[in-house]
Amino acid sequence: MSYWLQDYSLSPIGLLESKRKRIENYKKTLNKRKEKRFLEIYEKASKDVGFFSKRDLFLAGLFLYWGEGTKKQDSMVTLTNTNPAMLKFFIKWLSLFNIKKKDLKVKVHLYSDMDITKTLDFWGKELKIPLSQFYKPYIKKTKIVSVKYKTGFGKGTCSVIIGNKPLWEYILACLKYFEDVNEHHFRP
């Protein structure tokens, strides 16, 4: 036994350190396997999804709006999310309706203990929309640490807004059509 354990400290601190290192190595191995598996799945998914046609983008945007868009605010087409990629997709989708970035407004909901200027700059750069198109941010008095979301984004919640009643009505009509669709509307 002494030969096998000669490289290990048998003091309680040495044993704890040894255990900590083994756990770290185990976690690294698991993370590498997880990354490798995700990359393999991502490769397959990217081939399955392929390129988006204009119709694909149109439908995907409608489904996104159905799940995340504002439906009750008369004439305001608004999508709110914490994920910049989702909002960028929404902006791309709006371009199908000839909506220009210069016509969009942005509202950010933040927490009082956040760096407001830094966070607004983040959203402006991510969305490539100048801060002059941002409304005054809504700042909640609660501290961000009190929010119990395990996977929270940490940059607040951002809304991309366009006031356009005809577009709002059209989107709602499309969503109503989705609700009314039955199995006879699906092609194999």
Residues 23 and 59 in one domain: no
**Is residue 1 assigned to a domain?**
yes
Residues 32 and 118 in one domain: no
Residues 61 and 126 in one domain: yes
Query: How does pLDDT run across 9-32, given as a tens digit for each residue?
Result: 566 666 677 777 878 888 888 888
The alpha-carbon radius of gyration of the chain (Å, integer) is: 24
Query: How does pLDDT run across 151-177, given as a tens digit for each residue?
Result: 455 899 999 999 999 999 999 999 999
Q: What pLDDT, on the 0 to 100 scale, is given for residue 26?
A: 81
Which residues, 6+ apart, have CB-to-CB distance to 76 below 8 Å?
70, 161, 162, 163, 168
Give pTM, 2 decimals.
Answer: 0.77
Full residue range of the structural domain in which residue 59 is found: 54-183
Q: What pLDDT, on the 0 to 100 scale, is given for residue 19?
A: 75
Residues 34 and 108 in one domain: no
Rounded average pLDDT over 66-73: 93
Rounded average pLDDT over 74-103: 96
Query: If pLDDT is split at 50, 70 and 90, which confidence band does 76 have?
Result: very high
- Report d(CA 123, CA 156) in Å as an integer: 9
Q: What pLDDT, on the 0 to 100 scale, is given for residue 138?
A: 93
**Is residue 188 assigned to a domain?**
no
Domain count, the chain: 2
Hey, how many other C-beta atoms are within 10 angstroms of the C-beta on 47? 8
Contact 15, 8 (CB under 8 A): yes
**Is residue 166 assigned to a domain?**
yes
Query: How does pLDDT run across 93-151, given as a tens digit for each residue?
Result: 999 999 999 999 999 999 888 889 999 999 999 999 999 999 999 998 876 555 544 44
Residues 89 and 147 in one domain: yes
Which residues, 6+ apart, have CB-to-CB distance to 160 below 8 Å?
78, 79, 87, 90, 91, 94, 104, 105, 106, 127
pLDDT over 90 percentage in the chain = 61
Residues 65 and 45 in one domain: no
Contact 71, 175 (CB under 8 A): yes
Query: If pLDDT is split at 50, 70 and 90, which confidence band does 6 have?
Result: low
Q: What pLDDT, on the 0 to 100 scale, is given for residue 10?
A: 60
Which residues, 6+ apart, have CB-to-CB distance to 150 below 8 Å?
none
